[in-house]
Amino acid sequence: MAVDSQRLYREANILYWAMALLDLTYDYVDQCVANAKESPPFAIPRLRFVEAGLLIAHSYNDRAESTRSYGAKSGMIGMTYLTEEIIDGAFVKFIHNGNASPRWLSDPAANKVAEFLAFTQHVQYIKTGKQVYISDYQGSTKLLTDPQILTHPDVGAGMNLFGDGNVERGVELFEEQHNCSTNKYSRLSHTV
Ligand SMILES: [Zn+2]
């Protein structure tokens, strides 16, 4: 497989894992809200990752000329694309890769989302036994894209599961960098 195709497969894989981790987080949050005596005194931001898919274009033409110019036989993969839903509105980086502190953003709505996403990292970190969380949160205040997944070095037994963006030290430094005391969303939960 061409290097570019491998990179896109990896990117799609990261996106699907991030979707699952964010679903897990919302399941947990919804359960906490359902079990609480009163509803929280703040709105819970609702975000999701973009729908995406790999588009694989096969060469359709077996004329000698095209075989020569593309170096591919008929039916072989020509190009791979990662297609994603379009994100409307301002594009924001909420949390950088490799640093689990939310960015301070001048837009109050974006700032709330950054704070909420920092809380989701906490839920993921605890729910996966301090092994995994989503990093590099970015997109709009509704739709996220292009995440990274940070894993503890034990995950994957030395195999590079999630590409170059997997800053393993990020997981080791999580408890140092993550600040719950200023995060109002952490009140959603008393068990993580
Ligand atoms: Zn926390």
Confidence of residue 192 (pLDDT cuts 50, 70, 90): low
Q: How confident is the model at residue 165 (pLDDT cuts 50, 70, 90)?
A: confident
Q: Is the pLDDT of residue 24 over 90?
A: yes
Q: How far is the CA of 104 from the centre of ligand 1 (A)?
A: 17
Other beta carbons within 10 Å of 156: 14
Tell me the CA–centroid distance for residue 9 and ligand 1, in Å: 32
**In 3-state terms, what secondary structure has residue 124?**
helix
**Ligand 1 center–CA 21 separation, angstroms:** 16
In the reported structure, the alpha carbon of residue 117 is separated from the centroid of ligand 1 by a whole-number distance in angstroms of: 10
Domain with CATH 3.20.200.10 in the chain: 3-50+87-188
Q: Which of 7, 15, 12 is nearest to 137 (CA)?
A: 15
On whether the 3-50+87-188 domain is CATH 3.40.50.2300, my answer is no
- 74-87, pLDDT tens digit by residue? 556 688 999 999 99
Q: Ligand 1 centroid to 184 CA: how many Å?
A: 9
Residue 50 has pLDDT above 90, yes or no: yes
- pLDDT the model gives residue 68: 53
